[in-house]
Amino acid sequence: MPRATITAILTLFWASISAQIIVTSSLNQTFSGSPGEIKFIDISLQNTNPESSKIKFSLSDYRNSCSEGYIYEEAGSVVNSISSWISLEDNELILLGKEKATVRIKIEIPSEAEQAHGHICLFVTNEPVMGKIEEGEVVLNIGMSTRFAVNLLFNNKAIELSKPNLQLQNIFYNQGRNMLETEYVNIGTASDRFSCKIEVVDTSGAVIQTINTRKQVIQPDQCRIVDVPLNFDPTDQLYTFIIVARTEISSDLFGIAHDMKLQ
């Protein structure tokens, strides 16, 4: 009986498997510019393998969905795409074992650009590494390929009202994890990084816990969940949560006080 050979290629996003060439710079690159300007963004790479590895670059657009996350589309197919502004010197790159490299992306903002913000995703995809599994008469070749998604986020400096606007649209207590979960949506017109300071006040007016959260990037129309572990055991009483979100670039504050009974 002849042996059957099956080949499968799996492309996985970073953190799913051990990568070959990894992106060591931020996966969210925010830049501001005015119409007619030329900008450059450097992407840092490192080959974690002792042998040579190859990567390919490609552009993709996407939409943000609070329920589904990133929804990827063909480059140039969505509103506020900046795919036509991007210049890549090469579509692929080979790095020697353990080699580091920097890829410079040229961005030419059109003189007629009127949009307040824009974005594009640069995919950095490793060449598949093949492995062989033999099961009786069947030979299965499996290729594992890691992919990094680098978001390039544009804010238009020529538009004064191009700012983020964070709205707290959901807040709830996860009793099983003893954690407060808040969900923000950016209804503004600019990307930014933000963090939160949260104070928990009991019925006596005493502040029983203060939390400073890590910074996150939030794009227009994007949702971000902020998880806050509580270090006390709720005693079936009313607590007041004073929550202040602060953006890094625009230095705006968005604060609320929310009462919630925890048990």
Q: What is the DSSP string of 7-37?
A: EEEEEEETTSS--SEEE-S-SEEEEEE-TT-
- CA pair distance 188, 153, nearest whole angstrom: 14
Q: Do domains 7-156 and 166-262 have the same CATH topology?
A: yes
pLDDT over 50 at 9, yes or no? no
The pLDDT confidence band at residue 214, using thresholds 50, 70 and 90, is very high
- The pTM score is 0.82
Q: Is the pLDDT of residue 8 over 70?
A: no
Question: How does pLDDT run across 22-52, given as a tens digit for each residue?
Answer: 999 999 999 999 999 999 999 999 999 898 8
- Cβ–Cβ under 8 Å, residues 68 and 222: no
- Whether 7 shows a pLDDT value over 80: the answer reads no
SS3 248: coil
How crowded is residue 232: how many other Cβ atoms within 10 Å of its Cβ? 12
Report the mean per-residue pLDDT for the chain: 88
For residue 160, name the pLDDT band (cuts at 50, 70, 90). confident
Is 166-262 in CATH node 1.10.630.10? no
Residue 143's pLDDT is: 59
Model confidence at 139: pLDDT above 60: no
Beta bridge partners of 198: 211, 243
Give, in words, the CATH class of 7-156: mainly beta
Q: Tell me which residue of 38, 238, 45 sits closest to 125, measured CA to CA.
A: 45
Task: Give the angle subtended at the CA of 107 by the CAs of 188 and 150, to the nearest 5°.
Answer: 65
- The number of residues making up the chain comes to 263
Domain extent listing, the chain = 7-156, 166-262
Phi first, then psi, for residue 83 (nearest 5°) are -60, -35
Instruction: Express each pLDDT in 57-95 by its tens digit.
Output: 999 999 988 888 899 999 999 999 999 999 998 899 999
Compute the Cα dihedral for 43, 47, 48, 53 and give only its sign.
positive
Amino acid identity, position 81: S
pLDDT at 141: 53
